[in-house]
């Protein structure tokens, strides 16, 4: 610890990453678990050339925007970072961070950015949670890693941002697992809550798969809320079904309120958005920005299980989805069949090589939709431009890579027309967004 005369500072904003920001002797200082409007006494913990970090040692005058966290382990758990900040302030700060990032990275003006689409529920929204396990002093700990560590912080009261049915099943596991003799070999439990039930995947690293399998099967009546249980013993695809169903399902709205919704599925260990109400909001924004007329040929990059491709098929003439995960493409094909979508085609390929294949085949698309991982789609930008779509709709979970990619696409003649931030992850600094780029 540095002991730099315990300066008093005023927190004036939040930064991407979750920390509050102040200035000490003209230098930017990042302060975890502070709130805009706080007056704080600090202990400097890190000194760098252009910035420093500090911890709060006294809350001299708390901000009126402070609120009581709902989680008993908030501050030690490495998950949420903003439970101490009122939700309206979280939204305002997220918009400012988003706007600042797009301006710095691609000179996108704030007038092109809408207000953040608030989540209907700021707690109790996550439909998928991974709980870490450890044994400490002979006691089972189920929870989350502490920040920057692999020490498990026990979430004895469950996770407040998770759906209630996830916490109900977690409580069942807390009762059942201490009876297993190789408890140290269970490292993680992943729980997904869907429209038709709750599915869990137990990660086991011990030598006797038959032993853990028999134990969990014998205790199935005690896991009352579990509609499907799987065992993971190696790499992610290596799942052993112990009982119950293997599909997690959810609905996405049709083109109009009168249209039948799409029923979508994905398998245990597969990817899906964790906030279903905001997933629906993303689809609504894509439809607004796309302004589809039923004549467009749509290309959906990083399409996953057809999350957007399947419901949007009714809005366009045709849709092609590209996804590198074989399991996701299997789910997408199943969803195409279940929803009777004849104008959708799915390709299992790396996005870059899939794009080159479409270019070689002379395929043409009016609109390209992409929803890449946090690393963005920078390498794909040249080939996206070569396909020459009139519009690009970019769904992003990372403002910095979005800004970078918008800058790259600007070099190929695409300008940002509008961007809509969406709060997919309340109580954290993370932010989803949908951005429309048009050919100039």
**Backbone angles phi and psi of 227, in degrees to 5:** -100, -5
Say if residue 48 is exposed, middle or buried (CB neighbours under 10 Å; 0-12, 13-18, 19+): exposed
Q: Phi then psi for 305, rounded to 5 degrees? A: -90, 15
- Ramachandran sector of residue 244 (left: φ over 0; alpha: ψ -120 to 50; beta: rest): left
Alpha carbons 204 and 189: distance in angstroms, whole number: 9
- Answer for the pair 50, 61: CB distance below 8 angstroms, yes or no: no
Whose tokens are 């070689």? That residue is: 360
Known catalytic membership, residue 303: no
Which residues fall within 8 angstroms of residue 275, CB to CB, at 6 or more apart? 119, 125, 126, 127, 424, 425
What is residue 365's DSSP assignment? -
Check the CA dihedral 267-271-274-276 and report its sign: negative
d(CA 87, CA 364) in angstroms, rounded, equals 44
Instruction: Give how far Cα 283 sits from Cα of 2, 137, 252, 280, 425, Å.
Output: 49, 48, 8, 5, 17
Work out the angle at residue 25's Cα, subtended by the Cα atoms of residues 21 and 30, and round it to the nearest 5 degrees: 20
C-alpha angle 209/215/217, rounded to 5°?
100
Q: Which two tokens stand for residue 52?
A: 């420093």
Query: Tokens representing 393?
Result: 């709709």
Q: Which string of DSSP letters, residue by residue, matches 193-218?
A: EETTEEEEEEEE-SS-HHHHHHHHHH
**Rounded distance, CA 427 to CA 422, Å?**
13
According to the 3-state scheme, what is the secondary structure of 232-291?
A: ECCCCCCEEEEEECCCEEEEECCCCCCCCCEEEEECCCCCCCCCHHHHHHHHHHHHHHHC
Catalytic residue of the set 22, 52, 71, 397: 397
Enzyme catalytic residues: 397
């Amino acid at each position: 610890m540095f002991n730099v005369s315990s300066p008093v500072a005023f927190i004036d904003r939040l930064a991407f990453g979750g920390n509050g920001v102040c200035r000490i002797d003209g230098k930017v200082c990042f302060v975890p678990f502070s709130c805009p409007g706080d007056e704080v006494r600090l202990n400097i913990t890190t000194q760098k050339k252009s910035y420093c970090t500090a911890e709060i040692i006294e809350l001299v005058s708390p901000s009126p925007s402070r609120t009581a966290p709902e989680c008993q382990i908030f501050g030690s758990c490495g998950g949420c970072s903003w439970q101490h900040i009122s939700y309206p302030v979280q939204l305002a700060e997220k918009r400012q961070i988003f706007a600042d990032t797009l301006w710095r990275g691609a000179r996108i003006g704030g007038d092109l950015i809408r207000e953040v689409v608030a989540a209907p529920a700021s707690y109790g929204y996550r439909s998928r949670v991974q709980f870490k396990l450890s044994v400490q002093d002979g006691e089972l700990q189920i929870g989350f890693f502490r920040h920057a560590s692999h020490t498990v912080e026990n979430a004895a009261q469950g996770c407040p941002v998770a759906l209630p049915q996830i916490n109900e099943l977690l409580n069942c596991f807390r009762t059942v697992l201490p009876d297993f003799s190789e408890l140290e070999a269970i490292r993680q439990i992943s729980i997904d809550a869907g429209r038709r039930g709750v599915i869990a995947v137990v990660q086991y690293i011990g030598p006797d798969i038959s032993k853990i399998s028999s134990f969990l099967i014998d205790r199935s009546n005690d896991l009352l809320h579990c509609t499907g249980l799987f065992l993971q013993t190696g790499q992610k695809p290596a799942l052993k079904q112990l009982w119950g169903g293997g599909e997690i399902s959810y609905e996405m709205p049709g083109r109009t309120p009168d249209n039948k919704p799409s029923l979508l599925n994905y398998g245990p260990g597969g990817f899906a958005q964790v906030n279903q109400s905001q997933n629906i909001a993303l689809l609504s924004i894509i439809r607004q920005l796309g302004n589809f007329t039923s004549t467009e040929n749509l290309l959906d990059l990083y399409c996953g299980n057809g999350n957007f491709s399947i419901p949007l098929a009714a809005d366009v003439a045709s849709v092609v989805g590209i996804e590198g995960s074989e399991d996701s493409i299997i789910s997408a094909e199943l969803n195409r069949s279940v929803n009777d979508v004849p104008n959708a085609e799915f390709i299992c390929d790396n996005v870059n090589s899939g794009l080159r294949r479409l270019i070689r085949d002379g395929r043409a698309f009016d609109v390209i939709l992409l929803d890449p991982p946090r690393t963005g789609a920078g390498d794909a930008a040249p080939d996206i431009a070569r396909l020459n779509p009139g519009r690009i709709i970019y769904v992003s979970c990372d403002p910095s890579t979005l800004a970078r990619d918008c800058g790259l696409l600007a070099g190929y003649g695409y300008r940002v027309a509008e961007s809509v931030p969406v709060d997919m992850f309340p109580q954290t600094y993370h932010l989803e967004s949908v951005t429309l780029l048009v050919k100039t």
